[in-house]
Amino acid sequence: MTQPQKILVVEDDQFLRELYQELLTNEGFEVEAAVDGDEGLTKVSSGGYQLVLLDIMLPKRDGLEILRQVKANPPKEKNGPVVLLTNLGQDAIIREGFELGASGYLIKSAMTPDQVLHEVRNFLDNPLLLLSKLR
């Protein structure tokens, strides 16, 4: 029996965090969550996630600061792709996220749960293909 893929959701909005957790858990993923930037940084720094869904706007430390910290101090155990979660359409912020190591982004307000699940599967199956399509 294979181990379930491990996903970290760093999202301060309780409704969205619980929605993503339930959605992904029901699909057989092992899901951990962080409610703010400090907790998110601690978990990302520990590593071992096949995918990290990272909100940009977080209390205590934003998603870009988490990426800066992880770039400066790589995690103990390698992580898979980091996908930014945002409601912002600000190209400069997303571009900075890519420069800091993010593989893609999802606009939360524009996606149904099924679409989120589809994109998660795409990132897990072939992160490099999506990265080239997004840039």
Convert the pLDDT of each residue in 78-127 to its tens digit: 999 999 998 866 788 889 999 999 999 998 888 888 899 999 999 998 75
Token representation of residue 37: 């930037």
Structure-model confidence comparison of residues 10 and 93, the more confident one: 10
Look at residue 69 and tell me whether its pLDDT is greater than 80: yes
**What percentage of the chain reaches a pLDDT higher than 90?**
73
Instruction: Give residue 41's pLDDT.
Output: 98
Crossing angle of the two packed helices 14-26 and 113-125, in degrees rounded to 10? 60
Mean of the per-residue pLDDT values of the chain = 89
Structure-model confidence comparison of residues 92 and 33, the more confident one: 33
3 state DSSP class of 113: helix
Residues 89, 91, 96, 101, Cα dihedral to 10°: 70
Listed residue (15, 11, 51) closest to 33, CA to CA:
11
Listed residue (70, 95, 92) closest to 80, CA to CA:
70
Residue entry with tokens 């930014």: 84
Give pLDDT tens digits for 126-135.
Answer: 755 444 444 3
- 117: exposed, middle or buried (C-beta count within 10 Å: 0-12, 13-18, 19+)? middle
Domains in the chain, start-ordered, CATH in brackets?
6-134 (3.40.50.2300)
| Those residues with Cβ within 8 angstroms of residue 53's Cβ, 6 or more apart along the chain or in another chain | 7, 8, 9, 10, 11, 20, 83, 85, 106, 120
Tell me the C-alpha distance between 9 and 56, whole Å.
12
